[in-house]
Amino acid sequence: MNETVARRQDLTGALVALVALAVVAVVRPPLAATFHELRVTSDVYPLPPPEPLVVASLGYRSALADGIFANVLVSYGIHFAEKRRLEFAGQYIDAVNALDPTFRDPYRYADTLVVLGPTPARDADYVKARQIFERGLENRPYDTELWNTAGQFTAYLGGAGVAEADRPAWRLAGAKMLARACELASGNDNIPYHCIAAARLFEGAGERDAAIDSLKRLLAVTDDPQVEQLALGYLGKRLSEREQSEQEQRRKAFRDAWKADLPSVSKDMMLIVGPRAEPLPCAGVDRAGDDACVASWREWGRRETAAEGPPPT
């Protein structure tokens, strides 16, 4: 009796499994076709505003910032493959910036995540990316690469993507960022060449004096002969003969002082060290005004200029 019951149960189970397989075989194809036709058309932003998010991190701000940014990178790739934009990229980066203001990568990739995508960018996207860059420059004021990236985006990508009436202001702002990048020390040998581009942008915006000043600052910090030649060639077309002579005299005076004191160091290091002064003869407040006891290149340059005398009339 028990064996008969067990066999009936086995047969019933087998019959149920066969029926289930048949139902799956019949129902699955139309459901699969419907599923593949469906597409996600919008995103949902799940995070609270930046200020409450900082409190919710419970002190693990950098860790939470890393996790959110990693999710943004993965989501951007998925959205790109699906040929749709990551709608809340700017808001995610705002959250990361609030959690860790000195986290570098979210600033550097702002233009890619917010602006560049499979669909055309909107004016609001360019504005948002620029806001993120400017926030990064405030939090990382000595990051040469960030100044360079922000300047290139603002002058070129953003300067060409925004409304026609806003483009001159964007290009001028980008030129100022590029000029600032040139003033900061960096191991990137290409950055000084962007100073020439910044000078052209300044001049295109009618800021001739700013173009000249930016190249003068470049000549003050670079020791690359090719960069010097480019900058001097650009300045030579815009300065008078007297101004060119004065500039060359100052550069020669600095070069002579540099090579006479520490010829083996770079120009950047020499600018940090300062002009040569003998400690014992220059000791005391009463010797601070002597030409041989100046403590900074700024003061040395001022006195060098004064020694040249007034310009001829």
Is the domain of 102 the same as that of 166?
Answer: no
CA-to-CA distance for 179 and 177, rounded, in angstroms? 5
Better-scored residue on pLDDT, 308 or 18:
18
Judge if 163 and 133 occupy the same domain. Answer: no
Going 259 to 260 to 261 to 262, the CA torsion angle's sign is positive
* In-domain check, residue 131: yes
Q: Is residue 15 part of a domain?
A: no
Q: Is the pLDDT of residue 74 over 90?
A: yes
**What is the percentage of the chain residues whose pLDDT exceeds 90?**
25
pLDDT digits (tens, 9 = 90+) for 5-51: 667 777 787 787 888 888 888 888 877 776 655 565 667 888 999 89
End residue of a domain, out of 121, 140, 159: 140
pLDDT in tens, 216-260: 777 766 666 776 777 777 676 666 555 666 666 777 777 777 777
Comparing 103 with 210, the larger pLDDT belongs to 103
pLDDT of residue 172 exceeding 70: yes
Spatial separation of the C-alpha atoms in residues 151 and 39, rounded to whole Å: 37
List the domain range (segments joined by +) for residue 55: 48-140
Q: What is the pLDDT of residue 69?
A: 95
Q: Would residue 17 count as lying in a domain?
A: no
Structural domain ending residue among the three candidates 113, 140, 167:
140
Please state the domain count of the chain: 2
Structure confidence at residue 13 (pLDDT): 75
Domain presence at residue 115? yes
- The angle at the Cα of 93, spanning 90 to 94, to the nearest 5 degrees, equals 85
Q: Is the pLDDT of residue 305 over 70?
A: no
Q: In the prediction, which pLDDT does 311 show? A: 44
By the 8 A CB rule, do 93 and 106 touch?
Answer: yes
CB 114 within 8 A of CB 124: no
Tokens describing residue 198: 């910044």
Q: What CATH number has the domain bearing residue 215?
A: 1.25.40
Tokens (6 digits) for 16: 């149920």
**Mean pLDDT, rounded, for 173-177:** 89
- Pair (101, 179) in one structural domain: no
Q: In this structure, what token pair is assigned to residue 156? A: 């070129």
Least confident of 34-38, 126-130, 269-273: 34-38
Is the pLDDT score of 205 beyond 90? no
Lowest mean pLDDT among 2-6, 139-143, 169-173: 2-6
Answer whether residue 81 is part of any domain: yes
**Residue 66 pLDDT > 90, yes or no?**
yes
DSSP symbols for the chain: -HHHHHHHHHHHHHHHHHHHHHHHHHHHHHHHHHHHH---------SPPHHHHHHHTTT-HHHHHHHHHHHHHHHHHHHHHTT---TTHHHHHHHHHHH-TT-HHHHHTHHHHHT-SSSPPPHHHHHHHHHHHHHHHHH-TT-HHHHHHHHHIIIIIHHHHS-GGGHHHHHHHHHHHHHHHHHS--S-TTHHHHHHHHHHHHHHTT-HHHHHHHHHHHHHH---HHHHHHHHHHHHTTS-HHHHHHHHHHHHHHHHHHHHH-TTS-HHHHHHH-S---TTTT-SGGGTTSGGG--SHHHHHHHHHHHT-SPP-
- Per-residue pLDDT, 312: 42
125 compared with 41, residue with greater pLDDT: 125
Residue 79 makes CB contacts below 8 A (sequence gap 6+) with 85, 86, 117, 118
